[in-house]
């Protein structure tokens, strides 16, 4: 079972701060750098040694699932968790731009929010890159 959109995979690959923070573990989804497609996403099925973790991080891209993204920003102070509701409402109102095709993909929304809160970045849908808020 794999429900990762190509756009989500690209967003994950370019989220370098997220990739740097990856502590690869059993159950994580990943794909090989440079060849990340929906058909090439795999899941870590065993507990890794420290050496294996370093090897995974060097060769692969972490593809977080929405619960992992939620846990990243949910551990932030209360006002940031409350801000997520505001973030979602602004997407619905069109204040924060998200193409209609992706508005119902919770992974993309959670990734956008995690990058906003944790890194101060937004996804530029035109240039397909993470950029700092101005």
For residue range 79-119, what is the model confidence (pLDDT) as tens digits? 566 677 777 777 777 777 788 777 778 888 888 888 888 88
Residues 56 and 7 in one domain: yes
Helix axes 78-93, 106-119, angle to 10 degrees: 130
Q: Which residues contact 74 (CB under 8 A, 6 or more apart)?
A: 81
Residue given tokens 């101060």 in the structure block: 120
For the chain, how long is the longest CA-to-CA vector? 47
Residues 48 and 34 in one domain: yes
Q: How far apart are CA 87 and CA 73, in angstroms?
A: 13
Give the residue numbers spanning the domain of 117.
65-122
Asked if the model's pLDDT at residue 44 lies above 60, the reply is: yes
Which residue, 64, 99, 114, sits at the end of a domain?
64
Asked if the model's pLDDT at residue 2 lies above 70, the reply is: no
Residue 19 in tokens:
């990739």
85 in a structural domain? yes
pLDDT, position 54: 86
Q: Is 120 helix (H, G, I), strand (E, B) or coil?
A: coil
pLDDT tier, 77 (very low <50, low <70, confident <90, very high otherwise): low
Calculate the alpha carbon distances from 122 to 45, 87, 126 in Å: 32, 12, 12
Residues 73 and 58 in one domain: no
DSSP state of 48: P
Higher pLDDT, 35 or 97: 35
The model's pLDDT over 4-32, given as tens digits with 9 standing for 90+, comes to 889 999 999 999 998 988 888 889 999 99
Residue 79 in tokens:
């006002």
Asked if the model's pLDDT at residue 67 lies above 60, the reply is: yes
Q: Is 131 helix (H, G, I), strand (E, B) or coil?
A: strand
129 in a structural domain? no
């Amino acid at each position: 079972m794999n429900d990762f959109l190509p756009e989500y995979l690209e967003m994950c690959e370019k989220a370098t701060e997220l990739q740097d923070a990856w502590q690869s573990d059993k159950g994580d989804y990943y794909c090989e750098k440079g060849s990340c497609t929906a058909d090439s996403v795999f899941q870590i099925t065993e507990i890794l040694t420290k050496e294996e973790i370093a090897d995974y991080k060097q060769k692969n891209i972490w593809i977080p699932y929405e619960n992992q993204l939620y846990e990243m920003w949910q551990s932030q102070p209360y006002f940031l968790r409350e801000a997520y509701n505001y973030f979602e409402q602004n997407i619905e109102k069109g204040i924060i731009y998200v193409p209609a095709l992706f508005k119902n993909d919770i992974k993309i929304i959670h990734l956008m929010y995690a990058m906003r809160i944790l890194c101060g970045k937004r996804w530029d849908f035109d240039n397909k890159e993470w950029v700092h808020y101005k």
